[in-house]
Amino acid sequence: MKLTLGFSPCPNDTFIFDALIHHKIDTEGLDFEVFFDDVETLNQKAFRGELDITKLSYHAFAYVTGQYVLLDAGSALGFGVGPLLICKNEQFLDQETLKSIIRNLKIAIPGKYTTANFLLSLAFPEGKNKTEVLFSKIENQVISGEKDLGLIIHENRFTYQNKGLHKIIDLGDFWECETGCAIPLGGIVANRNLPEEIQHKINRVLRKSVEFAFANPKSGLGFIRQHSQEMSEEVMYKHIDLYVNQYSVDLGGEGRKAIRILFDKAMETGIIPKVSNQLFLSV
C-alpha cells in the first residue's frame, strides 16, 4: 500500500524517517511517496487534507482534528527546545520595556499556524504586527533592520549569536514555567479516512524507524546531510539531540498531558477554536 507522506528537510525529521522511507526496517507492506516542505507549507497542506501522513505544528493540528488523528510516534516535544524571540537592538532585551512597545514593532514569524507563533501570542499578546517569513530567512530580516524582532526555530537556535543577534526570551522556558510540562512543537498525524488498522500500522512502523535511528545514529547521515542546507555535522546532530527524544518514540502519558494542556490554554485564550474531536490514536 502506497501512502503520501510529508515532513520537513530538517535533521530531526530526516533522522526519524530515514529508516522508514529507505526500508531499513520492516514497513509491513507500506510504501511512501515523500514530500519535503517547511513546516508552514505542511500545515497548509494539512488544512487542505492533501496527505495521508504529515508532520505539522500542534497549533495547526487544532484546526484539522476532524481530518487527522495524532500518532504516538514521531512527535517533537521537550524541555529547553522552545522557539526564541531575538533582536538586533539591545534596547528590546528588557522584557518589561518590550511589553510596553511591542505593539509598534515589526515581528518576523515562521508561520501563522506554527506552535512558535502560538507561544508568542501567549507571552506577548500585544505583539500583533507580524509577517510570515520562511524560517531560514528570519535572521537576515532582523539583521537588515527590515524587522525589529524575529521568532526563530530549528537550527537557527545555533546560529543567531554568531550573527550579532540577541535572545530576548526562550518561549520554551516561558511555557515550562507556566505549566511544568514539555513544550509540544510538532507531531505526526494520519488521515482519519485511512482504516484504523492502517493508522496503527503507520504508528508501529514509525516507532520502529525512530528506534532504528537511535540504535544506528549514523545510518542516515548521507540522507540527513543531503537535506540539511549545508549545516555542519556537529550542528545537524545538535539539532537532532534537541528535538528527538523519548517523546518521539512514544508520547506516553506525560506527552499526551502536555498536548492537552496546550490545547486547553489555546482554547481558553481564543487562539484556537474549541476542539471536540478525539486527538489521539485509539489504544
**Is the distance from CB of 12 to CB of 76 less than 8 angstroms?**
yes
pLDDT for 230 equals 64
What pLDDT was estimated at residue 6? 98
Residues 218 and 154 in one domain: no
**Is 154 one of the annotated active-site residues of the chain?**
yes
- Residues whose CB is less than 8 angstroms from the CB of residue 200 and which lie 6 or more positions away in sequence, other chains included: 281
User: How far apart, in whole angstroms, are the C-alpha atoms of residue 131 and residue 133?
Assistant: 6
> Would you say the C-alpha torsion 224, 85, 186, 172 has a positive or negative sign?
positive
- The pLDDT of residue 271 is above 90: no
Helix (H, G, I), strand (E, B) or coil at 108: strand
Does one domain contain both 139 and 196?
no
Question: Does 226 map to a domain?
Answer: yes
Range in 73-82, 229-238, 260-269 the model is least confident about: 229-238
Average pLDDT estimate for 111-116: 87
Domain assignment of residue 246, given as a range = 2-78+183-268
Which domain CATH number covers 40? 3.40.190.10
pLDDT in tens, 22-72: 999 999 999 999 999 988 899 999 999 999 999 999 989 999 999 999 999
C-alpha cell at 37: 516542505
Instruction: Report yes or no on 173 lying in a domain.
Output: yes
For 181-204, what is each residue's pLDDT tens digit?
Answer: 999 999 999 999 999 999 999 999
Residue 277 domain-assigned? no
> Is there a single domain that holds both residue 200 and residue 215?
yes
Question: If you search the block for the grid coordinates 511517496, which residue do you land on?
Answer: 33
Q: What is the CA radius of gyration of the chain?
A: 18
How big is the chain, counted in residues?
283
Its pTM surpasses 0.75: yes
The tens digit of pLDDT for each residue in 130-183 reads: 999 988 899 999 999 999 999 998 777 888 888 999 999 999 899 999 899 999
Catalytic choice (23, 59, 154, 200): 154
C-alpha cell, 258? 502536555
| Residue 264: inside a domain | yes
CA 261 to chain centre: 17
Backbone dihedral region for residue 229 (phi beyond 0: left; psi -120 to 50: alpha; all else: beta): left
In a shared domain, residues 189 and 174:
no
Q: Which helix (H) or strand (E) holds 15?
A: helix 11-21
Q: Are residues 229 and 99 in the same domain?
A: no
Domain stops at, among 179, 194, 225: 179
Render pLDDT for 222-248 as a digit per residue (tens, 0 to 9).
Answer: 999 999 876 788 888 888 998 899 999
Verify that 95 and 137 share a domain, yes or no.
yes
